[in-house]
Homo-oligomer: A and B are copies of this chain.
């Protein structure tokens, strides 16, 4: 695409205002908007109001907080590009908890720059990325006075907590946000300088398996040898659901999976560098348990997983207590690939847990939250526009990949808005999301601002947007 002088002016404007963007980012990162912890309720409101101010500064109209019962949605739009497509920009302003806090090298809510990276909880997931998109739009409005296409923002605050509010909103009120495509920056690139579009995500089923034995805690000296031990029962169940070879043993799960195509394996084969070397560097371990008959790239994004995240019950303090607990539970999750869904997998899990439960123990599987995975058809103009924009911005061809994580709202957007999802993310996989020392490369923060501008410009060349005014 020919670069107009107006476009050059916008990018020059962005380069001149880097300090402002960085200050905005620091302000955003200082708000401890941990959605899963009730004590941060006021911080959720503060973070929503920050986003609201940013959208107002970007000269969006009808900027509003939408109360769906939990942390508010923040929305706003600019719809004056007659005949042009409409892009819905999505992101989230909530963050994960910070534990174990003692492993952070700088405080999680005191953003600190080291070696070109900004360290703080939420830096890459997703405050840095969502702010880059807002700043891009803000720069266009400031430098050009208008946008090349119509834009809506819908930013949520419950992504790390199940996303009940936005799910309800999109399910019930999709007509308020008609659009031609949804732009999401909450995914990662293959590596530094390697622009990437994610065309698939995994779904998730997060559950607690509760086990009950005797009516009250028992002393292992007196009752050891005859007492049911719920913790032992849970260990048996976990070991029964996934073996030493890393294969999930859940009858019926495999045949629900849509097969991976040859075209996909072709894209993955083009990915640069050694996946094994990257994983060893990122994980600090050189052995990769799991289904050895599938390549790591496929196992990490296009195969189901079963993981245990924590056991609750018994004695967990320092020292020794020989208790046989009356009750215990274990937190587990399955990452799912289309067409596996929480609805069709939960009954399989319940049946197998019941089968694996040893005598004397009662078990129950309780769903904590679930979300769908998705695979989007990349052969559509909105994804082609993103591919072109990212290739321009990074001066490098764009890769296509599936991501292993879950963005449950994306499949719902597709279903309710009848619009393709464009995952154009600027994060890197090793930026510590959901872990201590989360950070975001500032280079990619600025690339994200420029890239958003480029994307909207490319979209302006698409004919036949359904939702332009």
Interface residues of A (CB under 8 A from B): 36, 96-97, 100, 103, 161-162, 188, 202, 204, 206, 213-229, 231-232, 234-236, 238-240, 242-244, 246, 279, 282-285, 287-291, 296, 299-301, 303, 305, 307-317, 319-325, 331, 333, 335, 356, 358-361, 368-369, 403-406, 429, 432-436
| Most chain B Cβ neighbours within 10 Å, of A216, A243, A288 | A216
B290 touches A226 (CB 8 A): yes
Question: A226-B290, A279-B226, A324-B307 known; A239 and B242 CB under 8 Å?
Answer: no
A314 touches which of B231, B331, B429 (Cβ 8 Å): B331
Question: A222-B405, A228-B287, A283-B215 known; A96 and B321 CB under 8 Å?
Answer: yes
B316 touches A285 (CB 8 A): no
Return the chain B residue nearest A206 by Cβ.
B320
Tell me which residues across on chain B come within 8 A of A232, comparing CB atoms. Answer: 238, 242, 307-308
B322 touches A307 (CB 8 A): yes
Question: A231-B309, A235-B238, A335-B220 known; A321 and B434 CB under 8 Å?
Answer: yes
Other than the known A231-B310, A289-B361, what 14 A-B pairs have Cβ atoms closer than 8 Å? A217-B435, A219-B433, A222-B433, A225-B296, A231-B308, A232-B238, A236-B239, A308-B314, A309-B325, A310-B311, A310-B323, A316-B331, A320-B368, A323-B434
Give chain B nearest CB distance to A80 CB in angstroms. 38
B299 touches A226 (CB 8 A): yes
Question: A225-B300, A239-B236, A289-B228 known; A310 and B315 CB under 8 Å?
Answer: yes
14 A-B pairs within 8 Å (CB atoms) are namely A103-B216, A206-B320, A216-B435, A220-B333, A221-B405, A223-B279, A223-B404, A227-B283, A228-B287, A287-B359, A307-B324, A316-B316, A320-B369, A321-B434
Tell me which residues across on chain B come within 8 A of A434, comparing CB atoms. Answer: 217, 219, 321-323
A204 to B162, CA, bound (A): 45
Return the chain B residue nearest A242 by Cβ.
B232
Give chain B nearest CB distance to A272 CB in angstroms. 18
A221 touches B202 (CB 8 A): yes
B323 touches A224 (CB 8 A): no
B308 touches A224 (CB 8 A): no
Tell me which residues across on chain B come within 8 A of A315, comparing CB atoms. Answer: 309-310, 331
Tell me which residues across on chain B come within 8 A of A322, comparing CB atoms. Answer: 204, 206, 307, 309, 333, 434
A279 to B287, CA, bound (A): 47
A36 to B317, CA, bound (A): 10
A288 to B301, CA, bound (A): 43
| Most chain B Cβ neighbours within 10 Å, of A289, A314, A356 | A289
Give chain B nearest CB distance to A238 CB in angstroms. 4
A214 touches B283 (CB 8 A): yes
B436 touches A228 (CB 8 A): no
